[in-house]
Structure 1
Amino acid sequence: MWFHLFGDDDDDEYDDEYEDDENDDIDDSDYYDDDDEDEDEDEYFGYSFEELDEEDGIIDGDSYWSDDDYQIAWVLKEPYFSDETIPIREILGYRPVNNRTIQRVAFATYGIHYDTYFEDIPNINQDSDVADELQTVAWININKEGGNTTSQYWKLKQAYNNNRYLLLGQLQAYEPEIVIFGGTFNLFWHDLIGELGLTLQKLDFTDVDDACDCYVDGSDSSVLYIEAEHPGVRSDTGEYVDSIISAVRAWESGEYSLLDEW
């Protein structure tokens, strides 16, 4: 079955305290509903974690939450299939991996985790470690339904508006340390500030010329927000992958200064 993924492989370029000293025989459960408290704690912009993870999201929880690697979220546009919608977790398990979008996600993620550039990354269809990197990410599409080979901006904007709080809930719940926006940053930035409360500041890299534009939350540099092109864009794969890896390396080493707030 042939399929093409995630749009844009042909792309040219959002109290009262209860005192029980005199009432030890009274059960606190009469006063507190634990189920309601847990439900509130588990909601992200009105969605439960399970609801956030239905269409896409964290591919494999054990791999994503591993202490050994960065938690990386890729925020892309939309899935596209020629005949039917196939679950993203199933697609990322397909071998061989021949789709440009998926390959570049795997290459860049591998390069970040293994601290290496594209020229030293093994062939994805000859080394299972590279393909296995697809299991370590959170994969977030703006449009949760099928799209086209080239994403039309007005449709993508409409999908963002429809899924706005679901998408923000995913970013909040997954707690990524690196967020890679693949041609989608322009839809998110206003809500990153207005809804998630970030103070976005652009990084001015000291000795890196080929890195993507990147942002952090003011003086808190614990999360890196990368403004990349869509991984399906027609360009050199090595240059695309290394522009992301270079940005992460410079951020890790602190080789940057902060520009003015957004």
Structure 2
Amino acid sequence: MNKIIDGKIDETQYNNSTLKVLWILKEANVSPEDKEKEEIDLCAAFRENWHIKNALSIPTFRKMIYATYGIFYPEVEWKNVPYANEEAYEVVKKIAYININKYPADSSSNDWKIKEAYNQNRERLLDQIENLEPNIIIFGNTLKYFEYDDLARIGWKISEAEKKYANEKTTNTAFYMISSDKLCINAYHPSYPKITDKIYWNEIRNAFSIWKSTKP
């Protein structure tokens, strides 16, 4: 079983983007047939439009796309956001996407195993983040696995930033304004069923808009 390839979905689009957005999730849900493949390239699957057909049916993909769209197009209101399997899908090609566990997994995640994967992949994960040089990191219920001292080593000093919430009435989405060039968003995993697409999109967009309003 080979490791999964993750990182920049489309290298050219990511490198040329004015905003570099990195999503960090837990692990990839891979079918039994795909687990036998010599190579599983998550980036190619998005880049080559393999996921357009299931962009609406898989909550992880759908919410990632809508939330990313809210960052790149914060002026667009929800009623005008294109469907995830249509125009909105293109924004996913501007991002980077990595998993903590670098091996194929199933539909349910185990916290202990994810933390173990973090410990095993610590240096690779930190190198990935540092080399990607993101402006925005969105942790999909994955910040809890990272050691703050590890993130501080690569310039993400979360412990020194004030914790804020994207919606004052809820605690769904927290964010940390690390600097004028770095925003850390700690959200639920996009597959979490108790938060609607609209709320997920809106709270991540709000976090981005608040951070953007403070930029010089």
TM-score (normalizing by structure 1): 0.69
The DSSP-based 3-state class of the residue aligned with 2:24 is: strand
1:199 CA drift (Å):
3.0
The alpha carbon displacement at 1:189 in A equals 4.2
In 2, distance between residues paired with 1:133 and 1:70?
A: 11
Number of residues paired by the alignment? Answer: 196
Q: In the alignment, does 2:72 pair up with 1:113? A: yes
How far apart, CA to CA, are the structure 2 residues paired with 1:169 and 1:158?
18
Is the contact made by 1:202 and 1:213 (CA closer than 8 Å) also made in structure 2? Answer: no
CA contact (8 A) 2:22 2:96 kept: yes
Question: What secondary structure is seen at the aligned counterpart in 2 of 1:65?
Answer: helix
Q: Deviations over 1:37-63 (max 9, x none)?
A: xxxxxxxxxxxxxxxxx7100111111
The yes-or-no answer on 1:137 pairing with 2:98 is no
1:185 aligns with 2:173: no
- The corresponding residue for 2:25 is 76
Q: Which residue of 1 aligns with 2:41?
A: 87
Instruction: Give the RMSD, CA atoms, in angstroms.
Output: 2.2
Secondary structure, in 3 states, of the residue corresponding to 2:44? helix
Distance change >3 Å, CA 223–CA 136, structure 1 → 2: same
Q: Give 2:176's match in structure 1, choosing from 215, 218, 233.
A: 215
SS in 1 for 2:5: coil
* 1-structure distance, mates of 2:213, 2:112: 39
Q: How far, CA to CA, are the matches of 1:253 and 1:203 in structure 2?
A: 17
DSSP-derived class of the 2:43 partner: helix
Summarize the alignment of residues 26-37 of structure 1 with structure 2, pairs less than 5 Å apart. none
Q: Percent identity, aligned pairs only?
A: 31
Larger radius of gyration: 1
The answer (yes or no) to whether the contact 1:183–1:228 under 8 Å persists in 2 is yes
1:247 paired with 2:198, answer no
- Corresponding letter in the other structure for 1:75: I
Residue type of the partner of 2:45?
A: I
1:77-108 Cα shifts (integer Å, max 9, x gaps): 00011221442123222122231101111111
Q: State whether residues 13 and 94 of structure 2, in contact with CA within 8 Å, keep that contact through their aligned partners in structure 1.
A: yes
Report whether the alignment pairs 1:62 with 2:62: no
TM-score with structure 2 length normalisation?
A: 0.82
Cα-to-partner distance string for 1:102-122 (whole Å, 9 max, x where unaligned): 111111111110113433211
For the structure 1 residues 117 and 230, does the alpha-carbon distance in structure 2 shift closer, same or farther, using more than 3 Å as the test?
farther
CA distance in 2, matches of 1:206, 1:74: 17
Structure 2: unaligned runs, 5 residues or longer: none
Measure, in 2, the Cα distance between the counterparts of 1:231 and 1:199. 24
More helix by percentage: 2
Q: 1:197 to 1:64 in 2, by over 3 A?
A: closer
Change (3 A) 1:117 1:164: farther
The one-letter code sitting in structure 2 at the alignment partner of 1:78 is E
**CA deviation digits over 1:190-237, x for unaligned, max 9?**
2213x32543212446985557211133xx331000001101111211
After TM superposition, the structure 1 stretch with the greater mean CA deviation from structure 2, 201-210 or 172-181, is: 201-210
Give the deviation of 1:75 after TM superposition: 0.3
How far, CA to CA, are the matches of 2:5 and 2:23 in structure 1?
14
Cα distance in structure 2, aligned partners of 1:205 and 1:153:
24
